Amino acid sequence: QVQVEESGGGLVQAGGSLKLSCAASGTIFSFNAMGWYRQVPGKQRELVARIISGGFTNYGYSVKGRFTVSTDNGKNRIYLQMNNLKPEDTGVYYCNVQGGPYDYWGQGTQVTVSS
């Protein structure tokens, strides 16, 4: 069984920075990708950033140039460095691991950016 756990959320003023961490434990077969998604009430969960097999990265349009996703190779850990935060970045951030046909999600961590 794969478990995913996020940490690092909180309250920050606009223009500030936060760093999120995620650790996945257990055996992940046929690793495809690991990344971050966020959700606000009334909206669908959206991609923030992810690393796919081979080390390629994808970013959501609204975070390009401000957020950076990275990983500890071989340690099933992923990080999201968020700079120049904006109030519209507020939401619950979820860590996701994709292995074979399976999606594993963490419980989410709240990020709140005040104006």
Identify the CA nearest to 23 among candidates 40, 10, 8, 11. Answer: 8
- Give pLDDT, residue 14: 98
The pLDDT tens digits along the chain (115 residues) read 889 999 999 999 999 999 999 999 988 878 889 999 999 989 999 999 999 988 899 999 999 999 999 998 767 899 999 999 999 999 999 999 998 889 999 999 999 999 9
Give the list of residues 6+ apart from residue 50 with CB closer than 8 angstroms, or none: 33, 34, 35, 36, 57, 58, 69, 96
Amino acid identity of residue 2, one-letter, is: V
pLDDT at 110: 97
The pLDDT of residue 100 is 86
The pLDDT value recorded for residue 72 is: 85
